[in-house]
């Protein structure tokens, strides 16, 4: 992943400028900075949800350069800005997103994955009835569903208890591709091999 001279401005307000980094497979990039410094905005740009004002983000997988939209199938995202359907059950959510992405999972397989993330026996409950921590766990289950090369985590341990934080630790440490973490938590800074500090 190559971030080259990235800058973002909202009308009348520069958010960040001149951000550059090259992140290789197996590395972890931590984006940190105070509230309002643009961490989530940078995450949205990496996922191609927002366009930068200047600069570019490039991705190369298996020696093939990908455009900003082509990268989306290779991204697993956990973010407070990304919400799943409250009116569907966890299994319905996972099945739906898998199907529109072109994959099909058998229900026992989805149940096994929910169990791995600490949601055993809750797959047929409506997501609207979940606690915020359970919703966060479900987002991890969805993010890992298609085994993405790039895992992007915005506030990765938000709403999670200690066991949940342990699960996130396992996920981050066992991921073989790139992991991008946007955080203010001191404990999560230690994951980083590379850092982008915003708001300096």
Residues of the shown chain interacting with other proteins in the complex, contacts defined by CB under 8 A: 47-49, 51, 69, 72, 75, 77, 79, 81-88, 92, 96-105, 109, 142, 145-146
Residue 73: what are its φ and ψ, rounded to 5°?
A: -65, -15
197, 15 Cβ separation under 8 angstroms: no
Q: What does each C-alpha distance from 76 to 46, 61, 70, 148, 161 come to in angstroms?
A: 12, 15, 13, 5, 22
**Closest to other proteins by CB, 11 or 186:** 11
Pick the closer one to other proteins by CB: 4 or 92. Answer: 92
Which DSSP letter does residue 140 get?
Answer: H
Q: How far is the CB of 166 from other proteins (least distance, A)?
A: 25
Taking the complex as a whole, the smallest distance from the CB of residue 190 to other proteins amounts, in Å, to 28
- Closest CB 102 distance from other proteins, rounded Å: 6
Query: Exposed, middle or buried: residue 55 (CB in 10 Å: 0-12, 13-18, 19+)?
Result: middle
Q: How far is the CB of 50 from other proteins (least distance, A)?
A: 9
Cβ pair 142, 117 in contact under 8 A: no
Instruction: Give 50 or 194: the residue with its C-beta nearer to other proteins.
Output: 50
**Smaller CB distance to other proteins: residue 138 or 192?**
138
């Amino acid at each position: 992943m190559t971030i080259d001279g990235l800058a973002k401005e909202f009308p009348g307000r520069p958010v960040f400028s001149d951000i550059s980094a090259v992140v290789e497979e197996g590395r972890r990039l931590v984006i940190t900075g105070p509230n309002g410094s643009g961490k989530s905005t940078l995450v949205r740009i990496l996922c191609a949800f927002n366009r930068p004002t200047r600069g570019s983000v490039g991705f190369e997988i298996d020696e093939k350069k990908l455009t900003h939209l082509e990268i989306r199938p290779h991204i697993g995202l956990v973010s407070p800005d990304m919400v799943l359907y409250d009116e569907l059950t966890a299994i319905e959510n996972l099945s739906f997103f898998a199907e529109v992405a072109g994959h099909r999972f058998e229900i026992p397989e989805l149940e096994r994955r929910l169990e791995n993330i600490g949601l055993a026996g809750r797959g047929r409950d409506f997501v609207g009835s979940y606690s915020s921590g359970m919703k966060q766990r479900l987002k991890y289950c969805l993010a890992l569903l298609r085994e993405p090369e790039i895992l992007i985590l915005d506030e990765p341990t938000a709403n999670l208890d200690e066991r949940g934080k342990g699960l996130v630790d396992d996920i981050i440490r066992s991921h073989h591709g790139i992991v991008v973490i946007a955080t203010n938590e001191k404990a999560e800074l230690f994951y980083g091999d590379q850092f982008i500090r915003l708001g300096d």
